[in-house]
Structures are given as C-alpha cells and as structure tokens.
Amino acid sequence: MQKKKMQRAVVIEQTKLGEGIFSLWLSAPETAAAACAGQFVSLYCNNETRLLPRPISICEIDRAKGAIRLVYRVAGAGTSEFSGLLPGDTLDLMGPLGNGFPLKEAEGRRVLLIGGGIGIPPMLETAREISGDVMITAGYRDALFLTEELGGAGRLYIATEDGSAGTKGTVLDAIRENGLEADVIFACGPKPMLAAVKAYAVEKGIRCWISLEERMACGIGACLACVTGTVGTDEHTGVHNSRICREGPVFAAEEVQI
C-alpha cells in the first residue's frame, strides 16, 4: 500500500452556498498536482479531541494555482468546525485518496453525469475533464447550489423534490422527462439513488460507474470500516467485500451490491 503524505493546507477562501452548504478553496499543491476527478481527501480537525478525519470529495482542481475546492454539507461537529475556517487558517489534509472516474471510458461517447445532494460537487470537475458533449442531471432536496458552474460545464438538467426548479421528482424523472440518452453514466449520491441508477443502466444497457458515499475512519483501507458488498472477492479480506476508500469510491455498477 502506497503511503499517503499528510499536508498542511491553507484556506484561500470559504463561502456559504446555501443552508449548511459551504465551498472551501484550499492551497494544497501536492494534492492538486496528483488529483483526478472523483477522488476525495481526508480533512483533519484542528480540535484534537476529534481524532478521525472527515472524507470530502474534490469538487474542483486548479493545478496551475495548486488549489482544490471542496463543497460540503455541515453534518456534525467536524464539518461545523470547518465551516468556521477563514482565509489564512490551516489544517491537515491527506490525499488525493481513492480511485476516480474512468474518464477514458467517456472518450467519443455520450456521457451522462448524475449527482444527488452532496454527490453533486464531484460532478463539476468530472464534467470539465471530459471533452465533448456532456449531460449533467443534478438532484436537489432543498436549496440549489453549483448550478451556474455545472451549466457552464455541460447541459444541465435539474430535479427537485418539491418541483421548485426543473423536474419535480428524482434524477431519473428528469432523465426520462428530457429524453436523455447516453452510452456511459457516471453517478454519485446516496445509495437509494445509486441503486435506482444502477437498475436504470441495466435496463437500458448503459455502462455505468457509481461513486459510493460512506462514513470512513482511516481513509486508506487499513481499518475496514467502509466496506461494500461486491460480486468478486476482495484480495485483502478474502470475502465479497471491497473497501470504499481504497478500491473505490468509484466502482463499475455491476461489481457492487446496492
């Protein structure tokens, strides 16, 4: 296992995008140079009583400036601490971690990116790293965020639970309503959404890769806290499980049991 190096990242900018949703730009040159779409980082709290890092997917990569953007939802004490960070503040970061989306599979094909909730942010860098025509379907439970950036990176279709914007319903409702057709799907979001996307891809005969969201401890595959059921046998454990942080978070949809 390749050892991941801890870095001291510097806050460049932080803005509030919506209720409980924050955008954080960090100066982390080594991470920015090595990162690719679909990977994540582990952020460590400065409060030493919070020992475990928080995994957050990478939203944007600015390799020229050595910076990454994280868009996250406040869900507990750790992310609440992050929301108070100001320009010039520092914190420890490990990454990039995990495996990103297989962008070569998108070359010359019709690509549909699907994001739900806090699974929307990684779709932005993914869309920007794919050449050609990209369709993006984003599903929101409440307030919209990143819509301007996503709209500039591809053809954006929105779904909201209450119908306040775009299609009323789920991301699949938006796909069907707009008659979207694709050869490849990349998706990230809550498990119920991913299960539905997987079933849709099987029904339509579309190659599909999904990025799983999961609580993690170490973030490097040592603790086995973030496993998912798989069709194949994991070489590390010898059972039908894979570590989301190590073998994932991106998997071919047919390989995982959700």
> What pLDDT shows up at residue 239?
54
> What pLDDT shows up at residue 132?
82
Instruction: Respond yes or no on whether the N-terminal peptide bond of residue 55 is cis (omega within 30° of 0).
Output: no
In terms of C-beta density within 10 A (0-12 exposed, 13-18 middle, 19 or more buried), how is residue 88 classed?
exposed
| CB count in 10 Å sphere of residue 169 | 16
Q: How far apart are CA 188 and CA 193, in angstroms?
A: 9
Instruction: Respond yes or no on whether the N-terminal peptide bond of residue 29 is cis (omega within 30° of 0).
Output: no
Q: Is the dihedral of CA 233, 239, 240, 243 positive or negative?
A: negative
> What pLDDT shows up at residue 226?
47
Question: Residue 189 forms beta bridges with which residues?
Answer: 212
The tens-digit pLDDT sequence of the chain (258 residues) is 344 678 999 999 999 999 999 999 999 999 999 999 999 999 999 998 998 889 999 999 999 999 999 999 999 999 999 999 999 999 999 999 999 999 999 999 999 999 999 999 999 999 999 988 899 999 999 899 999 999 999 999 999 999 999 999 999 999 999 999 999 999 999 999 999 999 999 999 999 999 986 554 444 544 445 455 555 555 656 655 655 555 657 888 888 767
The alpha carbons of the chain give a radius of gyration, in whole angstroms, of 18
Q: Sketch the domain layout of the chain as residue ranges.
A: 6-97, 103-213
How do 134-140 and 207-212 pair as beta strands? unpaired
Q: What is the 3-state secondary structure (H, E, C) of 194-232?
A: HHHHHHHHHHHCCEEEEEECCCCCCCCCCCCCCEEEECC
In terms of C-beta density within 10 A (0-12 exposed, 13-18 middle, 19 or more buried), how is residue 199 classed?
middle
Q: How far apart are CA 162 and CA 218, in angstroms?
A: 37
* CATH number of this structure's domain 103-213: 3.40.50.80
Architecture of domain 6-97: Beta Barrel (2.40)
Q: Is the dihedral of CA 68, 71, 75, 77 positive or negative?
A: positive
> What pLDDT shows up at residue 219?
45
DSSP H/E element including 7: strand 6-18
Q: How far apart are CA 96 and CA 158, in angstroms?
A: 29
Intra-chain end-to-end CA distance of the chain, in Å: 27
> What pLDDT shows up at residue 55?
92
Reduced to 3 DSSP states, what percent helix, strand and coil does the chain have, rounded to the nearest 5? 20, 35, 40
